[in-house]
Amino acid sequence: MVRQLFRNAKIYSPVDNGRALKGSEQGQLVHYPCGAMLVEDGVIQVTGDEGVVLSGCAGDIQETDCEGRCLIPGFVDPHTHMCFAKLREREFEMRIDGTPYLEILRKGGGILSSVTAVAAASEEDLAVNTLKHAMSALALGTTTLEIKSGYGLDVENELKMLRAIQRMAEESPQDVVSTFLGAHAVPVEFKGRADDYISLIIDEMLPQVWREGLARYCDIFCEEGVFTIEQGRRLFSAAKKIGMEVKIHADEVHDLGGAALAAEMRACSADHLLAASEINIKKMAESDVVANLLPATAYSLRKSYANARLMIENNVPVALATDCNPGSSFTESMQFIIGLAVLNMQMTPAEALVASTLNSAYAIGMADQVGSLDKGKQADFLLLEGETPAILAYHAGVSSVVSVFKKGQLISGGVGV
C-alpha cells in the first residue's frame, strides 16, 4: 500500500453532504489554514488541520511539503465537445463581423461544418485530437471531464465519435464521462424532417450506444431551428426507458422551455440557460436539476450571461463548465470560466469554486469519486499560486495552477515551482 501525506497547505474544499450544494451552501468551503491530507493508494483518508492529521500518521509514509500553497480539489469540467476534427476560425471571423451563430448553422455551417470534418476523420485521428485538448485541460487543472458526441449525426459517425472518446480516455489519466448527443443538429439529409431523425436516433443509435456502454447520458440541443421541446420529450422518454440518464442544452438563445423539460424529465443537468425564465428556473429547483452554466459561450457569442444569482436565490445548484468546442466556446480553461463567473455573473469566488468542483461532479454523476476532498474520494487536487482561491478570478489570462495531482500522483507542474 502506498501512503502519502500532503502537508503545509492552505486547504479549501466544498464538503459533500450527498447532494449538490445550493442556495447559501453554494458558497460554503471548509478551510484549513495549515492543513494536511492523508492518502492511501490514491484515495483520501483524512483531510484536516495538520496537527490532527499528523497525529494519525504512523509508519511508512511519503511526505510532500506543499510549501504553504492553496490546495483545492481538481476541476471537474461537466460539459465539453472536445471530440472534433477541425477548428472553425473562419466562422469565428464571420461572427465577429456580425453574422449570428444560428444563422451560420442555418446556412449549413457551424455544427454542420464540424460534422463534415468528423465524417472525413478516422476514429484514431479523433482520439488523438481529443486527447490533445484533454491534455491542455489537464495542465490547467481539469482532472475529470465530460465529452459529448454530436458531430456525427448518423449511426456510423456518432459511434465513431463515442469510440474515439473511449479510446482517448484509456490514454488519459483523467476520468472521462461520455454523453451521446446525436440530437445536436438536424443533419442535411433530414432537413425539414427532424421528427424522422429523432426516430432514427431512438430506433437505431440509442440502443447501440447503450448496448456497447459508450455513453452515460443522452443529450439534445433544443433551440429554434434545431429541435423542439416535444422532440426532446420523445427522445428523453426513450432514453429513460432503456435506463439512460438525460441532460439538455436548454434555452441557450431562445426561451423554449428547456429548463421546464429538464425539471419534468428529472434531467441530471440543464445546460446554458442564458434565456431561461424565472418560472422555469423555479421548476428546476423543485426537481433538483443542476444548472450547468457555460459563461465562455455567452462571452464568445457576445450574449447576456445566465442569471446565476437568480438560480442560487431559488435554490438551484449551479455548476460551471467550459463548453469547449470549435464553435461557440473554444477554451479548455476552467480558471477562465471561474473568472467570467465571478466578474460577469456576480458569483463569489467560493461559489464559483464549488460550481467547478463538487457541483460539476454532481452534474455528471461523479460526485461519489471526485469533486471534494472528503474521505473515500480520489486524491485529485491542485496547488495554486496566491493566498486564496480568489486568485483564480483575480489573475486573468494565465494559469494559477502550479501542480496537478490525480489519485495522489503528480501529473503536471511540480511542488516548489
Stretch 274-313: interaction string toward Fe ion, x if CB under 5 A: ----------------------------------------
Closest by CA to 212, choosing from 151, 158, 159, is 159
Grid cell digits, residue 26: 453554494
Partner interacting with residue 380 (select from ligand NIG, Fe ion, none; CB below 5-8 Å by kind): none
> From the list ligand NIG, Fe ion, none, which binds 327 (C-beta under 5 to 8 Å, kind-based)?
ligand NIG
Min dist. Cβ of residue 184 to ligand NIG (A): 6
Q: Which residue is nearest to Fe ion (CB)?
A: 323
Q: Give the residue carrying C-alpha cell 477548428.
A: 87
Q: CB of residue 252 vs ligand NIG: minimum separation in angstroms?
A: 5
The Cα-based distances of 308 to 23, 66, 153, 320, 415 in angstroms read: 11, 34, 32, 10, 35
CA–CA distance, 288 with 368 (Å, rounded to integer):
17
Instruction: Establish if 221 lies at the interface with ligand NIG (CB under 6 A).
Output: yes
Q: Measured between alpha carbons, how far is 104 from 13 in angstroms, rounded to an integer?
A: 42
Cβ distance to Fe ion smaller for residue 25 or 323: 323
DSSP code at position 83: -
Smallest separation (angstroms) from ligand NIG to the CB of 218: 15
Q: How far apart are CA 297 and CA 304, in angstroms?
A: 10
Nearer to ligand NIG, 95 or 377 (CB): 95
Minimum distance between the CB of residue 220 and Fe ion, rounded to whole angstroms? Answer: 11
* Those residues with Cβ within 8 angstroms of residue 316's Cβ, 6 or more apart along the chain or in another chain: 22, 281, 284, 285, 289, 290, 291
Nearest to Fe ion of 146, 154 (CB atom) = 146
Is 81 a residue that touches ligand NIG (CB under 6 A)?
yes
Residue 247 beta carbon to ligand NIG: minimum distance, rounded to whole angstroms: 11
Among 36, 94, 111, 354, binds ligand NIG (CB under 6 A): 111
Binding residue count for Fe ion, defined by CB under 5 A:
1
Tell me which of 297, 359, 360, 372 binds ligand NIG, using CB under 6 A. 297
CB contact at 8 A, 171 and 204 = no
**Which residue among 109, 110, 258, 408 contacts ligand NIG (CB under 6 A)?**
110
- Give the one entry of Fe ion, ligand NIG, none that residue 326 binds, where binding means its C-beta sits below a cut-off of 5 to 8 angstroms depending on kind: ligand NIG
Q: How far is the CB of 325 from Fe ion (least distance, A)?
A: 6
Degrees to nearest 5, angle at CA 127 with 410 and 43: 30
Binding part of the chain for Fe ion, among 92-100, 205-213, 253-261, 320-328 by CB under 5 A, reads 320-328
3-class SS at 8?
A: strand
Helix (H, G, I), strand (E, B) or coil at 183: strand
Distance from the Cα of residue 45 to its chain's centroid: 26
Which residue reads 435554490 in cell numbers? 315
- Supply φ then ψ for residue 364, to 5 degrees: -130, 25
| Residue 73 touches ligand NIG, criterion: CB under 6 A | no
110 binds, among ligand NIG, Fe ion, none (CB under 5 to 8 A by kind): ligand NIG
- At 128, list the grid cell: 488523438
**Residue 185 CB, nearest approach to ligand NIG (Å):** 8
Assess 152 for contact with ligand NIG (CB under 6 A).
Answer: no
Rule CB under 6 A: is residue 50 a binding residue for ligand NIG?
Answer: no
Quote the least distance from Cβ 79 to Fe ion, whole Å.
6
Asked whether the beta carbons of 218 and 186 are under 8 A apart, the reply is no
Dist. CA 348–CA 27, nearest whole Å:
7
Residues 6+ apart with CB under 8 A from 191: none
Which residue blocks in 140-248 are alpha helix, DSSP H?
155-171, 194-200, 206-211, 229-241
For Fe ion, the closer CB: 10 or 148: 148
What number of chain residues touch ligand NIG (CB under 6 A)?
14
Contacts of ligand NIG in 311-350 (CB under 6 A): 323, 325-329
The residues binding ligand NIG (CB under 6 A) are 81, 110-111, 114, 221, 249, 252, 297, 323, 325-329
The residues binding Fe ion (CB under 5 A) are 323
